[in-house]
Amino acid sequence: NAGVTQTPKFQVLKTGQSMTLQCAQDMNHNSMYWYRQDPGMGLRLIYYSASEGTTDKGEVPNGYNVSRLNKREFSLRLESAAPSQTSVYFCASRRETADEQYFGPGTRLTVT
């Protein structure tokens, strides 16, 4: 099992550019999540998908969109990148509410 995979690992964007962060899990988990991690702020939820075909906003959704393409894949799109979106982005998945989350290795994004 690969677990949760994310691409790319690193990305540098100019302000206004767009990009999509990809996430896939091979554990047949129902729920998938996108977080951003900033120093001193812990993890903040951007969007989540409780099951295939559904997505909902988290704490900090502005400037982002998501697609739950199928049960395995959950992508995060930045339509017009801003310097405030410089962060490390983590995808996670879990089977049920009582279960732990499994995290991907992260994408380090810099917007200049």
Partner 1 sequence: AQSVAQPEDQVNVAEGNPLTVKCTYSVSGNPYLFWYVQYPNRGLQFLLKYITGDNLVKGSYGFEAEFNKSQTSFHLKKPSALVSDSALYFCAVSPLNSGGYQKVTFGTGTKLQVIP
Binding site for partner 1 (CB under 8 A): 4, 31, 33, 40-43, 45, 48, 50, 56, 90, 92, 97-98, 100-106
Kindly state the smallest distance separating residue 104's Cβ from partner 1, in Å.
5
Give the strand pairing for 74-78 and 64-68: antiparallel
* 9 or 15: CB nearest partner 1: 9
The beta-strand segments (E) located in the chain are: 4-7, 10-13, 19-25, 31-37, 43-49, 56-57, 64-68, 74-78, 87-94, 102-103, 107-111
Kindly state the smallest distance separating residue 37's Cβ from partner 1, in Å.
9
Kindly state the smallest distance separating residue 19's Cβ from partner 1, in Å.
20
* 4 or 66: CB nearest partner 1: 4
* 19 or 45: CB nearest partner 1: 45
Kindly state the smallest distance separating residue 105's Cβ from partner 1, in Å.
5
* 23 or 81: CB nearest partner 1: 23
**Cα–Cα nearest to 42, from 87, 93, 102:** 87
HSE at residue 83, side-chain half, CA atoms within 13 A, is 1
